[in-house]
Amino acid sequence: MQEADVLHHLTTPLTAPVYPLRPTRFTDREYLNVVYRTDPDALRAVVPEPLQIDAPLVRFEVMNMAEVDGYGPYVESGQAIQVTLDGERGEYLHTMYLDNFAATVSGRELSAYPKVIGTPRLRVDQGALVGTLDRSGERVATATMAYKWEPLDLDEARAQITVPTYMVKIVPNVFTGELRAADLVRTEITDVVVKEAWTGPARLQLFEHALAPMADLPVLEVVSASHVVTDLTLAPVQPAHDYLGARAAATGYSAV
């Protein structure tokens, strides 16, 4: 392989790329969302500035990806924290666990999703929609909701899916031990079709795990729940805040 040919590749292994380099379309993407109230101090310990916290609310989610271009079916679970930035309401993606390696790697490399490997599941059992997350063979979370209990307005469901989302993108400089990039980024899904949406009574349990510390944001009260089925395409991220630039402006320090 010629030196110039290396620059035509955006991932490794060079001869067997892990994921496709194009927008990804999701068909029949199924959400179980449980919004809960948690400890405000716990949120302040994990939400990075300049994001602000108004109400101490977290959305626990389990997503069944029924059909995904380039990846196939997989399941994902995580926590999204309600935040504001410059008066705009959105969510900060705190944790994400997947059972698909390619989707995990592409989410981290091509974007800024905080994805790691786990074992989430979503199923229907005797009239209950059950979402679970395991890590290292141990239970991390169990969410239950009455299955298709009450119809949810499709516009309201769409608003839940298309809320602005914030993530932190960190790129280390492996030669100096410094950071090459540290940015708060923003994305927002716009290409979405809501096929069905439901709400109903729900419960959520979080369990202590050193490598999946969801329980650090404890469940104090379940506020709402939804079950939504969509088709959508993920949107690219846009810069929202440059942490290295802000540090350089404040202190005159710049990593080399």
- Is residue 115 flagged as an active site residue? yes
- CA dist 212 and 229 (Å) reads 26
- CA dist 24 and 22 (Å) reads 6
Secondary structure percentages of the chain, helix, strand, coil, to 5: 15, 50, 35
Q: Which residues of 99-132 are buried (b: 16+ CB within 10 A; e: fewer)?
A: bbebbbbbbbbbbbbbbeebbbebeeeeebbbbb
Active-site residue (options: 115, 148, 169, 195)? 115
Q: Is the Cβ–Cβ distance between 182 and 254 less than 8 Å?
A: no
Q: Is the Cβ–Cβ distance between 225 and 33 less than 8 Å?
A: yes
Which residues does the annotation mark as catalytic?
115
